[in-house]
Amino acid sequence: MKGFPAAARETLQDSQLRRNLGKATQTIRAKRLRAIGELPDWEQLRDSGEAIKARAMATLPEQLERLEAAVTKAGGTVHWARDGAEAIAIVAGIAEAKGSREVIKVKSLATDEIELNEGLHARGIEAIETDLAELIIQLGDDKTSHILVPAIHKNRAEIKALFERTIAAGQDLGWEATAIAEAARKHLREKFLTVPVAVSGANFGIAETGTICVVESEGNGRMCTTLPETLITVMGIEKVLPEWRDLEVFLQLLPRSSTAERMNPYTSLWTGVKRSHPPDGPQEFHLVLLDNGRTRVLADEVGRQALHCIRCSACLNVCPVYERVGGQAYESVYPGPIGAILTPQLRGLDQAPTLPWASSLCGACYEACPVKIDIPSVLVHLRARVVREEKSKLAPEALAMRAAAKTFSTRGGYERAQGLSKLGRGPLGKLPVPGWSTMRELPVVPESTFREWWRTRGGAGS
């Protein structure tokens, strides 16, 4: 981990990245505003989304047990994974029992979070990403940079070159987007038809019915959840929704916030295993419930709202910081504003102590969030936790802040400090301030403060 300031310094040098991102986020921002503008009850939907998530988190143990019971009753098997290693072992064990050296995957952040692909590889099992953008990342041995559009930092020319080096070696794919995508289609179609085990994530898991929901655009998810004999879903425990009727709210909030569509092209819903003759769909279903730090997040009453996230990425698309630095500067599968509050909580503050400061607190994320996560407030809360739990009370910044607070706590101290600031009128004012003076002049310190002028004026009223 480089930490955000250093990682951002590197990504800011990539002018191609900034151009790609600027163009992409500007387009999606305008589209999203149109999509949500169509719904007169958008604000009520946001309130409902927030309330449902708050209820789910407040009753999480109960909801997870309901989910387990419902999935089991419907013929599925539920596994509990404390961390990534346990989840990987469960998935690998199932694939091995099926005798498969390959699994096909639906785009899933939870599996990226635990580095499932790398873990399976170590056990001799190859995971094949079937989402176009995830495939681009996998083929390029790259890192994702956006929740919804993991390869947003790549443009057509870069993808064409990558495919011609890998899955379409020796071919000239031309410049048509459809022709370039066709190369991926052909490559993936063969995998869909032959690989017997699939791994998915979950957008929602309904406790009441045991139904899992995956929302996607390309149809690869539908292929993965219907064609293979065995389906494994790795689901973060915060993805549970208490009731079937809750889905109605989220199936409106999610597509309009993420792709700015009224409805996403594919919504796959399945409940356990469907027994029929001839067999229809996977005949074996495993649900892996993943904690990996989530119960720790739940213990923080302010920070826990980060678990309400439905991974729409609206906050990334409106974030002026994200737009410039890109996703990789956040050094996590969860980039942007939501990443800045989720990653330090999931991994532990000591593992990502600079992320809560990766924001100017402009508030654009909070305004866009479909479940009203108050990201700026959580950022400030996490800053306080980092200062309290991770930083030395004797660090120069801590000492300076303590001294300033003491100075400002009395009128006399404050006015003496104002007197000192006038030293800035002399040679001291010409000294560069690290970080500031690279691009900006310091303000000219005035001859007298406001309160000095007020006194010479003789106070109130003329």
Partner 1 sequence: MRVALFITCFNDTLFPDTGRAVVTVLERLGHQVEFPEEQTCCGQMHFNSGYADDGLALARRFERVFEPYEAIVSPSASCVGMVRDHCPAIADRVFELTELLVDRLGVVDVGATFPHRVTLHPTCHSLRVLRIGDRPRRLLEAVQGLELVDLEEPQECCGFGGTFAVKNADTSMAMLSDKLRRILDTRAEVCTAADNSCLMHIGGALRRQRTGVRAMHLAEILAATG
**Site residues (vs partner 1, CB under 8 A):** 4-5, 8-9, 12, 18, 320-321, 324-325, 356-364, 366-367, 380, 383-384, 386-388, 398, 401-402, 404-405, 408-411, 414, 418, 421, 433-436, 438-443, 445-446, 448-454, 459-462
In the complex, the smallest distance separating the C-beta of residue 459 from partner 1, rounded to whole angstroms, is 7
**274 vs 383, which CB is nearer to partner 1?**
383
In the complex, the smallest distance separating the C-beta of residue 11 from partner 1, rounded to whole angstroms, is 9
In the complex, the smallest distance separating the C-beta of residue 404 from partner 1, rounded to whole angstroms, is 7
Angstrom distance (rounded) from CA 3 to CA 357: 11
Angstrom distance (rounded) from CA 204 to CA 224: 17
**76 vs 353, which CB is nearer to partner 1?**
353
Classify 413 in phi/psi space as left (phi over 0), alpha (psi -120 to 50) or beta: alpha
**84 vs 337, which CB is nearer to partner 1?**
337
In the complex, the smallest distance separating the C-beta of residue 321 from partner 1, rounded to whole angstroms, is 6
Angstrom distance (rounded) from CA 374 to CA 258: 18
**14 vs 243, which CB is nearer to partner 1?**
14
In the complex, the smallest distance separating the C-beta of residue 22 from partner 1, rounded to whole angstroms, is 9
Peptide bond into 255 cis (omega under 30): no
**394 vs 450, which CB is nearer to partner 1?**
450
**275 vs 388, which CB is nearer to partner 1?**
388
Q: Which residue has the tokens 């100017």?
A: 360
In the complex, the smallest distance separating the C-beta of residue 312 from partner 1, rounded to whole angstroms, is 19
Segment 3-10 long-range contacts (CB within 8 Å, at least 24 positions apart): 3/353, 3/354, 4/329, 4/330, 4/331, 4/354, 4/355, 4/357, 4/358, 5/354, 7/325, 7/328, 7/329, 7/330, 7/331, 8/325, 8/329, 8/358, 10/329
Q: Strand 211-216 relative to strand 266-271: parallel, antiparallel, unpaired?
A: antiparallel
Angstrom distance (rounded) from CA 121 to CA 117: 6
In the complex, the smallest distance separating the C-beta of residue 9 from partner 1, rounded to whole angstroms, is 5
**15 vs 178, which CB is nearer to partner 1?**
15
What is the 8-class DSSP label of residue 433?
P
Residue 379, judged by CB atoms within 10 A of its CB (0-12, 13-18, 19+), counts as: buried
